[in-house]
Amino acid sequence: MNILLKEISKKFGSQIILKDLTLEIKAGEFHVLLGPSGEGKTTILKIIAGLISPDKGQVIFNNIVMNKIPPQKRKIGFLFQDFALFPHLNVYENIAFPLKTRGIRKTKIKKLVDKYLTLFKLNKHKYKYPHQLSGGEKQKVALARALIFSPKVLLLDEPLSHLDAWQRDELRKELKQIQTSTKITTIYVTHDQSDAIELADKISIIHKGRIEQTGKIEEIFYHPKSKFIASFIGIKNIFKGKVLKYNHKNIVKIYEKCLTKELNLIINTYNSFEKGQKVYLCIHPENVLIEKQAKDENCFRGHIRELINQGPIICAILDINGLKVYSFITKEKQNELKLEKNRSIWVYLPKEHLIIYNHTIDI
Amino acid sequence: MFHVFVKKNKNFFELILYTISILFFLFIFTVLFSLFISTSFIEFLNQLNSPLVIYSIFISLETSLIVVIITLIIGLPVSYILALSNLKFKKLLDTLLDLPIIIPPLVSGLALLVLLSANGLLGKLLYDWNIKIIFTKKGIIIAQLFVASPFFIKMVKEGISKIPKDILDASSTLGASPSYTFFYIIIPMARKELISGIIMTWARALGEFGATAMVAGCIPQKTSTMTITIYTQAMSGDLSSSIALALILITLSSLIILIIKSKFS
């Protein structure tokens, strides 16, 4: 089912939660709404489900305006952050609930519930009450309950946030598997990038009640459209600078207080920036390269401040003229270049990996 | 300073606390126990054969049970609205609900008397339709309802308010209409408060005196509930029947409190 949110606005008291938000989710898509807490992600889900009415704008399912349709008639499966299992009903009764509300015959209910109990490996917990289940089991019950009536859309509100790391991995895989096999249009709200990377067909970044960027994972992570997105998705190297034109080249002069010596970086000429334009310059740590010898462009002498072991990779904190630059390297590379603390190195910042945004903050 | 004193003299301080507590409980126990030792078991059984006592027991049970039923019918919707609606003047309604609990029952009774008497705002209208409330069983029910039903509503409202919003939202997204959610989610989840509310309302109605006396009077074997009979008989010097009825009320109250504490706390 296609979902279109058209110019949705919502206020709670005087606080603006959503402002003219427009978002389209295609049928069968696994769409992740990614953003920090308190940015209106859950409100978006509740508006789609009909649990909250927007102050302005339209909720459209397959070209039909749904604003006046109550939640119980929208055919939406909703997985709540804290599971929202009915504490007075056992596992079987919880899963059967949406079928009972639809007046389905007892024999059919039993058949369907048994099928879902098997599918989610919940048979041995059939007669247990929610307080007798672990977090992962509760989540499975909630998921089975949300899917058993074959909803047209599945909405998931940070469903893995209360689980242990191993349970998260397992349930992430199950979720992806279920979505792939059922092709149900799914909207997943999270503040966790790893959920987004593993699950999403498309990601929308929410910031201050608006969609800041929508795109595939690579677009968001390698071409973030704003400084906010860059810092939210974990790009640690973000520097303030000013564009200088020099011999038909665009050069960005870095303006950071910590610099002991001038630092200029060449950026791609297709970046149409005016001379004097204030910018943010970002680069992913994995794109910052440590070299034995100097390259012709954007290669600077520096030293290693620290090497932090992060499992399969090493985070090298480098120093270029007092500027702190993060680089991810492999153990092989560390051994090959004999990298150690305080060692002098060449740091290469390839211009094709430099991401640049306008900004208006005074330098 | 006080803190240091308490620390240094902890044992002495605790001794004072324990002594005051023991004296207090002794006071309550003595008051109640004095009734039990003031009569013999045979005298108690004899009194239970008295037509006045029997009538009082029956009319009290009858009216208080009717009050419970009416409270259930009225109280459930009111509790739901107070707990879940977005009414702007909800706080005002909540305060209004506190009044019958806080103001003295005699004052409640007086207000009802003024409203329902032949010249009263509503009484006039009812008299035209030949409905008499004052000095009748209906009067007892209305007086008890006014005083006792807020206990139920406040308890059930608390019970409903405690249900997480996500549970109610989940019910709607799973296809339940508001009425289905009310009967299959809200009532079962607020059942502790619902049962406690019923018991409290019943106990309050059963023990009601002030408002009932004002509205229904103290007419023997017509409007004489257990509490009214206790009062009228004691005032006329016949303590035996008063004590018998008082013992029944104390036993019932104790049982009610025990049930509430053991099952629902």
Query: Can you list the domains of chain A with their CATH numbers?
Result: 3-226 (3.40.50.300), 235-358 (2.40.50.100)
Pairwise CA distance, residues B72 & A135, whole Å:
37
Of B172, B175, B189, the CB nearest to A87: B189
DSSP codes of every residue in A214-265 = EE-HHHHHHS-SSHHHHHHTT--EEEEEEEEEETTEEEEEE--TT-SS--EE
On the question of pLDDT at B257 being above 90, the answer is: no
Judge: B173–A74 Cβ closer than 8 Å, yes or no. Answer: yes
List, as ranges, residues 210-229 from A with C-beta within 8 Å of B: none
Percent of chain A predicted with pLDDT > 70: 97
Average pLDDT value for residue range A297-320: 91
* B30 inside domain: no
* A187-235 pLDDT tens trace: 999 998 888 888 899 999 999 888 999 999 888 887 888 888 888 887 8
In a mutational test of the A interface, the residue from B165, B169, B172, B174 whose CB has the highest number of chain A CBs within 10 Å is B174
* B15 inside domain: no
Judge: A71–B173 Cβ closer than 8 Å, yes or no. Answer: yes
Average pLDDT value for residue range B63-72: 96
Interface predicted TM-score (ipTM) of this complex, two decimals: 0.80
* B18 inside domain: no
Average pLDDT value for residue range B228-238: 89
Give residue A143's pLDDT: 93
Give residue A51's pLDDT: 95
* B3 inside domain: no
Q: Write the DSSP symbol of residue A310.
A: E
- A116 near B CB under 8 A: no
CB A253 within 8 A of CB A262: yes
* B36 inside domain: no
Pairwise CA distance, residues B189 & A88, whole Å:
7
On the question of pLDDT at A162 being above 90, the answer is: no
* B55 inside domain: yes
Give residue A202's pLDDT: 94
Q: Spell out which residues of chain B touch residue A149, defining contact as CB-CB under 8 Å.
A: 174-175
Q: What is the CA radius of gyration of chain B?
A: 23
Pairwise CA distance, residues A334 & A324, whole Å:
19
* B23 inside domain: no
Q: Token pair of A267, please?
A: 């950026």
Counting the structural domains of chain B, the total is: 1
CATH number reported for the structural domain that contains residue B64 in this entry:
1.10.3720.10
* B96-112 pLDDT tens trace: 999 999 999 999 999 99
Q: Which domain holds residue B66?
A: 48-264
* B41 inside domain: no
